[in-house]
Amino acid sequence: MKLSIIIPAYNEADRIVGTLTRTLAYLERQDYPSEVVVVSDGSQDETRKVAGRFQAKGKVDLKALEYHPNRGKGYAVRYGMLRGSGDIIMFMDADYSVPIDAVEKGLVLIREGFDVAIASRGLSGSVVTQHQNILREFSAKLYTVIQNVHLGIHYPDTQCGFKLFTAPAARNLFAQQQLDSVIFDPEILWLAKQNGFKVAQFPVVWRHAENSRIQYDSLKKSLFVFQELFRIKKLHGRF
């Protein structure tokens, strides 16, 4: 087995250091080959250069990719997922909100025959060590209810940035993805349902990272999230 880890990053020159240090250290202890692909999404800082200075060892390869201009998290994840060379391809957030060792739970589910394994903060057994503010948590729960009803899916948490895919599932789903925004997660999970892929969820330890690069601090940005959600079926020709 080879594992590919995609890390989308926008202006993460500061936080990417800790994330790569811990991720590479973990991977170097494993008995399978792996690669880490950092995708700088049109960053205006030195994210790509900082990531590129890391020297992977042993069975771990490291790539630092970049394009301009900034296109959105969904675009960055798709860009990386379609370039991963592993038998299992996953993505995780650059802020290390989920520790890398959570991959072990996902790998168990993939080995059991699931095509997709997603971390979820909404499952029994999950632990949130640092919460978002109350308004954002309430808004996220409201959005999730509307999302699940509209798309006909049943996930308590689609936005946790830690998801694993078999290579065939990753190539199929991300080739179909249309959204470049942060709402690509429910689009991918809806596509997984439409294409008959088996999806499993696993509990996770998660902490809110301050100074998130994705902010919903205005009515306009909040409305954009719902506009993107309601585009999903239309983009794929299903109303």
* Secondary structure of 52-117 in HEC code, one letter for each residue: HCCCCCCCEEEEEEEECCCCCHHHHHHHHHCCCCCCEEEEECCCCCCCHHHHHHHHHHHHCCCCEE
Peptide bond preceding 99 in cis form (omega within 30 of 0): no
Mean pLDDT score, 111-130: 95
Mean pLDDT score, 157-184: 97
In the chain, where are the structural domains located?
3-235
Cα angle value 154/107/100 (rounded, 5°): 95
Percent over 90 (pLDDT), the chain: 85
Query: Residue 62 forms beta bridges with which residues?
Result: 36
Whole-prediction pTM value? Answer: 0.93
Alpha-carbon distance values, 133 to 5, 55, 71, 130, 221 (Å):
29, 37, 27, 10, 17
CB neighbours of residue 64 within 10 Å: 21
Q: Is the pLDDT of residue 95 over 90?
A: yes
CATH architecture of 3-235: Alpha-Beta Complex (3.90)
Three-state DSSP class for 121?
A: coil
Instruction: Give the pLDDT confidence of 96-113 residue by residue, as tens digits.
Output: 999 999 999 999 999 999
How far is the C-alpha of 219 from the C-alpha of 226, rounded, in Å?
11
pLDDT (0 to 100) of residue 61: 96
Mean pLDDT score, 55-62: 89
Q: Is the pLDDT of residue 218 over 80?
A: no
| Dihedral-angle region of residue 81 (phi above 0 means left; psi in -120 to 50 means alpha; beta otherwise) | alpha
Total residues found in the chain within this entry:
239
Least confident of 28-42, 49-63, 184-198: 49-63
Distance of CA 214 to the CA centre of its chain: 13
Contact (Cβ atoms closer than 8 angstroms) between residue 136 and residue 173: no
Query: Residue 117 forms beta bridges with which residues?
Result: 164, 200
What amino acid is encoded at 159 in this protein? Q
Q: List the structure tokens of 3.
A: 């594992």
